[in-house]
Structure 1
Amino acid sequence: MASRCITQETFDAAVRENIEEFEMGPEEAVQEAAEQFQSQGVDLSNIVKVAPKLSADGLQEPTHEVLKALDALRESLSCSRPQEVATHLSWFCDQCKQHKGSRFLAAQKGAYPTVLAACKLAAAGDANLLLPALNALSALTDGQPDLLDTQGLQLLVATLAQNADAADPTCSGIRCVRHACLKHEQNRQGLVKAGVLPLLTRAITRHGGHAGVVREACWALRAVTLDDDIRVPFGRAHDHARMIVQEHGGLKVLIEAAQAFPDDPGVLSELCSTLSRLAVRNEFCQEIVDLGGLAVLVTLLADGSDHQDLVKHALSALRAIAGNDDVKDAIVRAGGAASIVAAMTRHLASPQVCEQSCAALCVLALRKPENSRVIMEGGGALAALRAMKAHPQEAGVQKQACMLIRNLVARSQAFSKPILELGAETLIAQARAAHRDCEDVAKAALRDLGCRVELRELWTGQKGDLAP
C-alpha cells in the first residue's frame, strides 16, 4: 500500500527531466514519471498529471488550470468585480471537481482564504455570489476537511440559517457540511455546537419536495454520526445520533420524507440508510415502528424489489431496528421475514443484498424460537444456503449465513436435521476453510447443528510461568 507522498513540484521536475535528459515526448514523460514513483510506493492520488508544452521558445512549465482559475479569482476579488468573481468561482469549482490532485494543489497554493473571502462577500449581501461561492467551497473541501477553520465553520452555519428558504444554496451549503464532517471529529463537534443539526432536519421538512436537498441532508446527518477520525481516541457519534432523534425529531422527519418520495428509489435509499444510523437505542427502534417506519420499510422491500440498492438499504434498516426484541416480533408479524427471504431470492446474484438479508434474518431469529420457525417455514435457511453456494468467496455472506443457521437451531434443535439435509454441513465447512473471519461462527454453527467439530481449549486456567 502506497504511503509516501511527493509535492506537485517534485512530480513536474521528474517529468521535465524525462523530456530534457531522456528525450521523451511529453505524454510518455508523464507516464514514465508516474510509473517510477508508484514503483517506489509513492501515493500519486494528490498529483495532477499534466504534460508540459513544447513551443518555439523551448519547454514550457505545465499549465495547471486550477491555478489559473485561482489567480483569476484572486484578481477579480481584489478589483471588486462581482460578476467576474462569480464566473471565476464557477471556473475554479469545475477544475476542483475534475481531480483530487487539482483540489490538493489549489489548497497548497492558498485557495481556502480566497474562497472564504468570496463566501464572506456573498454573505454580506451579494446574492448572485452565494451559490457559486458555496459550490467552490464544497468542491475545495471535498476530501480536505482540515481546510475548514473556526471562522469558516461559523460562516457556513450562519449562511445556512440565513438562506434556509432557498433550495439550491441550502443544498450546496449542506454539501459543505458533509465534506467538513467526513473523517474530522473536531469539525463535527464544532458544527453541532454551532447549531447545524436543526438546520439539517428543518431542511428536509422545508424542502420536502426537493430531492437534492433531502439526499444531501441525509448524507450530512450520517456524516455527523460517524466515528471515523483515527486522530481522536473516541468521538461523539452516539451523542449526535441521540440529539438528532430526541432534540430535533429526526426519526419523524425522515419517515415523513420517505412517504413524500414513493417513486424515487435514490432518495428512499438515503432515507433508509440514515434511519439505520439513528437506530442506536432500544427506544429509538421502537419509535421508528410507532411512527409507521416499519410499514414503510416492509412496503419498500415489496414494491421496490427491482431496485437493488434500495432493497439493500431497506434490509439494513430492518436489521438495525431489530436490535429491539419487541421490534423483532413486530417485523415478523408484519410479514418482514417473508419479505426478506423474497428479496434475497430475487437478488441472489448480489452479495450485498445476500449479506444484509442473512444479517437481518439472523437478528430476527436471535433468542426467538417462534421467529425461527417462521423463517424456516418461509424458506429462510434454504435461501441462506443458496447464497453461500452463490458467493463462496464473499466472507460477509458466508459469515452472516453461518450466524443465521446457528441462531435458527440454537433454541430449536428440531430444525437441525432439515437444515443438514439441505447440505449445510459441507457449505459451512467450506466457509470455515476459505475465510479466517468465519472460523468461530462456523464452529458454533456446526456444533449447534450436532456435527462433529474440534474445539481447541485456548487456556486451561492453570497457573504457570510467564514467558520472558
Structure 2
Amino acid sequence: MACKWITQETFDAVVQENISEFDLNPEEALNEAIQQFESQGVDLTNIIKVVKIQSEENEDATGHTILQTLESLRKNVESSSVSSVSELLIQFGDQCKQGMAHRYLAGQKSAYSVVLKAWQLLEADREGLLNALYAMSSLTDGQPDLIEGVGLKLLVCVMQNYSSDAEVTLLAIRLTRHVCLKHEQNRQDLVKEGVLRHLTGAISNHGADPDVVREACSALKIMTFDDDIRVPFGHAHDHAKMIVLENAGLKLLIEAAKDFADNTGVLSELCATISRLCVRNEFCQDVVDLGGLNFMVALLADCIDNQELVKQVLSALRAIAGNDDVKDAIVNSGGTYLIVLAMTRHICNAQVCDQGCAALSMLALRKPENCKVIMEGGGALAALQAMKVHPKDSGVQKQACMVIRNLVSRTQDFSQPILEMGAESLILQARSTHKDCDDVAKAALRDLGCKIELRELWTGQKGSLAH
C-alpha cells in the first residue's frame, strides 16, 4: 500500500523535466512520471495527472486551470466585481467537481478563504449566493477540515434567512453534509448553532421537494455518525436524541415518507435515517405508534424487487426490533415472511443478506415464539443459503451465525433440523475463514450441541514465567 506523498509542484516538475531533458512528448512525459512515482510507492490520489500549462508570454497564465480560475476569483473579489465573481464561482465549482485532486490542490492554495470572501461579498444577492454555496460545497467535498467558525456561522445564517427558498436550502444542506462527514467537531459546532432545527425545518417547509427532503435526510443521518477516527468519543447518540425529542424527527420523517410513495430514492434515504434515530427503546416503539411499521411492511411488500430500498427497509426493521414489544409487532404484521422473501429474492446481494440476517437475528433474540415463526417461514434455511452464496463476506457470515444461535439458544428442538440443513460445516467454515466470526460461530456451534475445540489463549505460563 502506497504510503509516500509528493506535492503537485514536484509531480509537475518531473513531467516538465521529462519533456525538456529527455525530449518526450507531453503524453509520454506524463505517463513516465506516473509510472516512476507509483514504482516508488508514492500515492498519487491527490495529484492532478495532466501536463501543466506553460506560457512564456504571461507568467500568470502558467499552471493548472483550477489555479488560474482561483487567481482570477481572488483578484475580482479584491476589486468587488460582483458579476465577475459570481460567474467565476460557477467555473471554480465545476472544476472542483473534476476530482479530489483538483479540490485538494485548490484547498492547498488558500481557496477556502477566497471563496469565503466571495460568499460574504454576495450574501445579499440570491444568484451570487447560490453560486458561492455551490463553489464552497464543491471545494469541501472530502475536505471538511477546510471550513472554520466563520464559515459555519455563515452557513447557519443562510439556512435561517433563506428557509423558504428551496434552491438555496438545498445547496446549504449539501454543504452541511460535506463539512460534517467524518468531522465530529464541525458536527458539534453546527448543532450548537442550531442546525438540527433548520434541517428538520427544511423537510417541513419543502416536504413536496424530493431533492430537499433527500438531502436533509442524508444530512440528519450524518449527524448521527461516529466516523471521525481522530475523536475517541463522539456525540452521535446525543444528536440522535435531539433530532427525535427536540425536533420531532421520527414523526416528521414518517409523515414525509407517506408523501413519496412512488419515489424509491427518497424512501430509501428516509428509511436509512429512521434506522439511525432508533437509539432508545421508546423511539423504536414511537415508530410503531406513528404508523411507521405498517408503512415499512407495506413498502417491503410493494417494492420487493428494489434492492436498495429493500436493504434500507431491512435496516430500519432491524433497528426498531431492539425493542422486545416491537419484535412481536413485526412478526405479527407478517414482517418475518417478507424478510425471508427479500433475502431469497436478492440472495446474490450481500448487503441485503447481511441486513436480512441481522433483522431475523433481532426478532429471534429472547423470543421462542418468534423463533418458531422464523423456522416455519424458512428463516434458518435462508440464513444458511446466504452463508453458502457469500462465503467471503464476514458481515453475512457473522449475522447468519447469530440467527442460528438465537434460534436454538432457547429452543433446542430446532437444533436437529438446522443441523440437517448443513449448518455445522458452514459455521465451521465461517469460523476458520473470518477471525471476527470466531466468538459468535463458537456460540452457535455450542448451542447446536456440536463439539467445539476450545482454544486456551494463555495458560498463565510461558518458559520460566508463571502466573
TM interval, shorter chain, is over 0.9
Match of 2:27 in 1: 27
Would you say 1:302 and 2:330 are equivalent positions? no
> 1:440 & 1:407 partners in 2: Cα distance?
14
- C-alpha deviations, 1:228-280, integer Å up to 9, x for none? 22222211111111111110111111111111110111111111111111111
Distance change in 2, residues 1:110/1:56 (3 Å):
closer
User: How far did residue 410 of structure 1 move?
Assistant: 0.6
> 2:419 & 2:182 partners in 1: Cα distance?
45
Task: Give the AA of the match of 2:281.
Answer: N
> 1:62 & 1:201 partners in 2: Cα distance?
46
Alignment of structure 1 residues 121-270 onto 2, 5 Å: 121-123=121-123, 125-270=124-269
> 2:55 & 2:221 partners in 1: Cα distance?
51
Comparing 303-312 with 436-445, greater Cα deviation is found at 436-445
Task: Give the AA of the match of 1:426.
Answer: S
Scaled by the length of structure 1, the TM-score of the pair is 0.95
> 1:26 & 1:398 partners in 2: Cα distance?
50
Task: Give the AA of the match of 1:309.
Answer: E
Task: Give the AA of the match of 1:73.
Answer: L
> 1:62 & 1:377 partners in 2: Cα distance?
72
Match of 2:406 in 1: 407
Distance change in 2, residues 1:467/1:86 (3 Å):
farther
User: How far did residue 34 of structure 1 move?
Assistant: 1.9
Distance change in 2, residues 1:466/1:175 (3 Å):
farther
Match of 1:80 in 2: 80
Alignment of structure 1 residues 299-338 onto 2, 5 Å: 299-338=298-337
- Structure 2: 5+ residue stretches without partners: none
Scaled by the length of structure 2, the TM-score of the pair is 0.95
**Structure 1 contact 50–62 (Cα < 8 Å) conserved:** no
Distance change in 2, residues 1:223/1:467 (3 Å):
farther
- C-alpha deviations, 1:351-408, integer Å up to 9, x for none? 1101110111011101110010000000101111111111112111111111101110
User: How far did residue 465 of structure 1 move?
Assistant: 8.1
Comparing 71-80 with 2-11, greater Cα deviation is found at 71-80
> 1:223 & 1:39 partners in 2: Cα distance?
38
User: How far did residue 283 of structure 1 move?
Assistant: 1.0
> 1:358 & 1:287 partners in 2: Cα distance?
24
**Structure 1 contact 26–52 (Cα < 8 Å) conserved:** no
User: Percent same amino acid among aligned pairs?
Assistant: 63
**Structure 2 contact 460–466 (Cα < 8 Å) conserved:** no
Would you say 1:384 and 2:383 are equivalent positions? yes
**Structure 1 contact 399–442 (Cα < 8 Å) conserved:** yes
User: How far did residue 433 of structure 1 move?
Assistant: 2.2
> 2:321 & 2:364 partners in 1: Cα distance?
10
- C-alpha deviations, 1:405-463, integer Å up to 9, x for none? 1110111111111111111112212222222222222222112111222123446789x
Comparing 264-273 with 432-441, greater Cα deviation is found at 432-441
> 2:423 & 2:165 partners in 1: Cα distance?
57
**Structure 1 contact 351–394 (Cα < 8 Å) conserved:** yes
**Structure 2 contact 226–234 (Cα < 8 Å) conserved:** yes
Task: Give the AA of the match of 1:182.
Answer: L
Would you say 1:362 and 2:368 are equivalent positions? no
> 2:244 & 2:464 partners in 1: Cα distance?
53
SS in 2 for 1:263: coil
Task: Give the AA of the match of 2:75.
Answer: E
Comparing 280-289 with 80-89, greater Cα deviation is found at 80-89
User: How far did residue 77 of structure 1 move?
Assistant: 2.3
SS in 2 for 1:228: coil
SS in 1 for 2:133: helix
**Structure 2 contact 343–352 (Cα < 8 Å) conserved:** yes
> 1:147 & 1:77 partners in 2: Cα distance?
19
- C-alpha deviations, 1:60-90, integer Å up to 9, x for none? 9964111122122223323333222221111
Task: Give the AA of the match of 1:10.
Answer: T
**Structure 2 contact 55–61 (Cα < 8 Å) conserved:** no
SS in 2 for 1:22: coil
User: How far did residue 40 of structure 1 move?
Assistant: 2.5
Task: Give the AA of the match of 2:218.
Answer: W
- C-alpha deviations, 1:91-123, integer Å up to 9, x for none? 000000111111111111111111111211222
Task: Give the AA of the match of 1:21.
Answer: E
CA RMSD of aligned residues (A): 2.2
Task: Give the AA of the match of 1:11.
Answer: F
> 1:178 & 1:150 partners in 2: Cα distance?
16
- C-alpha deviations, 1:180-214, integer Å up to 9, x for none? 11121111111000110000001011111111111
Comparing 418-427 with 170-179, greater Cα deviation is found at 418-427
> 1:379 & 1:298 partners in 2: Cα distance?
18
**Structure 2 contact 54–62 (Cα < 8 Å) conserved:** no
> 1:467 & 1:188 partners in 2: Cα distance?
50
Task: Give the AA of the match of 1:205.
Answer: S
SS in 1 for 2:21: helix
- C-alpha deviations, 1:294-320, integer Å up to 9, x for none? 112111211111110010011111111
> 2:184 & 2:420 partners in 1: Cα distance?
51
> 1:174 & 1:88 partners in 2: Cα distance?
22
Match of 2:36 in 1: 36
- C-alpha deviations, 1:290-348, integer Å up to 9, x for none? 11111121112111111100100111111111111111111111111111001001101
Match of 1:114 in 2: 114
Would you say 1:3 and 2:3 are equivalent positions? yes
Task: Give the AA of the match of 2:111.
Answer: A
Match of 1:50 in 2: 50
SS in 1 for 2:399: helix
Distance change in 2, residues 1:395/1:72 (3 Å):
same
Runs of 4+ with >6 A deviation: 54-57
**Structure 2 contact 206–212 (Cα < 8 Å) conserved:** yes
> 2:430 & 2:279 partners in 1: Cα distance?
31
Would you say 1:345 and 2:344 are equivalent positions? yes
Distance change in 2, residues 1:56/1:245 (3 Å):
closer
Match of 1:67 in 2: 67
